[in-house]
Structure 1
Amino acid sequence: MSPRAAAKARKNESSLAERAVRVLRSREEAEAYVASVCFKHGPPRLLGVELEWLLTRRARPPHPLDATTLADALGPHAPTSLAPDSPALPLTFGSTVTVEPGGQVELASRPYERLDNLVHEVRSDAAELHARLASHDLYPGRSAADPVLPAHRVLGTPRYTAMETAFDRLGSEGRSMMCSTAAVQPCFDLGERDDLELRWTALHALGPVLIAALANSPTLHGRRTGWKSSRMAVWLALDPPRTAPPEPGQADPVAGYARRAMDAGVICRRGPGDWVTPPGVSFADWLAGAIPVPPTTEDLDLHLSTLFPPVRPHGHVEVRYVDAQVGDEWVVPVAVLAALLAERKTTEAALLACLPVAGRWLDAARVGLADPALAKAAAEVFTLAGDALPALIGPGPVRALVSRAVLRALRGRCPGDDLADTADIPNIDSGGTP
Structure 2
Amino acid sequence: MTAVPEHKATEQETITEAEAELEAHLRGICFKNGPPRLIGVELEWLVHDLNDPATPVAPARLDAAATALRGLPLRSALTFEPGGQVELSSRPADSLTACIESTAADLALVRGLLAGSGLGITGHGHNPWHPPRRFLTDHRYTAMERYLDRFGPAGRSMMCRTASVQVCVDAGHAEPGPLGTGRRWHLAHLLGAVLCAAFANSPLSEGAPTGYRSTRQALWAAMDPGRTLAPPGGPDPRASWAGYVLDAPVMCIRSEDGPWQVPEGLTFRDWVRTGLPRRPTREDLDYHITTLFPPVRPRGHLELRMIDAQAGDAGWIVPLAVTVALFDDPQAAETAYRTVKPLAETAGQRPAPRNPLWRRAARDALTDPELHAAAVQCFAAAQEALPRLGASPAVTDAVAAFTDRYVARGRCPADDLLDHAGTEVRTASGAPAPTGKEHQP
- TM-score by length of structure 2 reads 0.87
Inter-partner Cα distance in structure 1 for 2:325 and 2:235: 26
1:397 aligns with 2:383: no
CA, structure 1 residues 189+284, in 2 after alignment: closer, same or farther (shift >3 Å)?
same
3-state SS of the aligned residue for 2:35?
coil
3-state SS of the aligned residue for 1:329?
coil
Find the partner of 2:413 among 408, 412, 415.
415
Q: Deviations over 1:209-262 (max 9, x none)?
A: 111111000112332111010000001221112111234x42111110111111
3-state SS of the aligned residue for 1:54?
strand
CA RMSD of aligned residues (A): 2.2
The Cα shift of 1:60 comes to 5.0
Find the partner of 1:258 among 217, 242, 249.
242
Inter-partner Cα distance in structure 1 for 2:35 and 2:358: 30
1:340 aligns with 2:321: no
Inter-partner Cα distance in structure 1 for 2:424 and 2:133: 21
* Counterpart residue number, 2:268: 283
The Cα shift of 1:395 comes to 4.3
8 Å Cα contact 1:222-1:425 kept in structure 2? no
The Cα shift of 1:19 comes to 12
3-state SS of the aligned residue for 1:391?
helix
3-state SS of the aligned residue for 1:139?
strand
The Cα shift of 1:269 comes to 1.7
Structure 2 counterpart of 1:325, which letter?
Q
1:299 aligns with 2:291: no
The Cα shift of 1:64 comes to 3.3
8 Å Cα contact 1:38-1:314 kept in structure 2? yes
Q: Deviations over 1:147-206 (max 9, x none)?
A: 121110000010000010000011011001111000000111112212110111111110
* Counterpart residue number, 2:360: 363
CA, structure 1 residues 286+406, in 2 after alignment: closer, same or farther (shift >3 Å)?
same
1:44-83 matches, cutoff 5 A: 44-58=36-50, 62-75=54-67, 77-78=69-70
Unpaired runs of 5+ residues, structure 2, are 1-8, 348-356, 435-441
8 Å Cα contact 1:74-1:133 kept in structure 2? no
Structure 2 counterpart of 1:226, which letter?
G
Structure 2 counterpart of 1:110, which letter?
R
- Higher Cα Rg, which structure: 1
CA, structure 1 residues 384+67, in 2 after alignment: closer, same or farther (shift >3 Å)?
same
Q: Deviations over 1:116-152 (max 9, x none)?
A: 1111121111111111112222212242101121110
Equivalences, count: 406
Structure 1 counterpart of 2:318, which letter?
V
Inter-partner Cα distance in structure 2 for 1:36 and 1:66: 45
Inter-partner Cα distance in structure 2 for 1:311 and 1:357: 17
* Counterpart residue number, 1:13: none
1:244 aligns with 2:241: no
1:113 aligns with 2:80: no
3-state SS of the aligned residue for 1:337?
helix
CA, structure 1 residues 24+141, in 2 after alignment: closer, same or farther (shift >3 Å)?
farther
- Choose 420-429 or 107-116, whichever is displaced more: 420-429
- Choose 29-38 or 101-110, whichever is displaced more: 29-38
* Counterpart residue number, 1:11: none
Inter-partner Cα distance in structure 1 for 2:168 and 2:12: 25
CA, structure 1 residues 424+58, in 2 after alignment: closer, same or farther (shift >3 Å)?
farther
Identity of aligned residues (%): 44
- TM-score by length of structure 1 reads 0.88
Structure 1 counterpart of 2:295, which letter?
P
Unpaired runs of 5+ residues, structure 1, are 1-16, 79-87
CA, structure 1 residues 277+196, in 2 after alignment: closer, same or farther (shift >3 Å)?
same
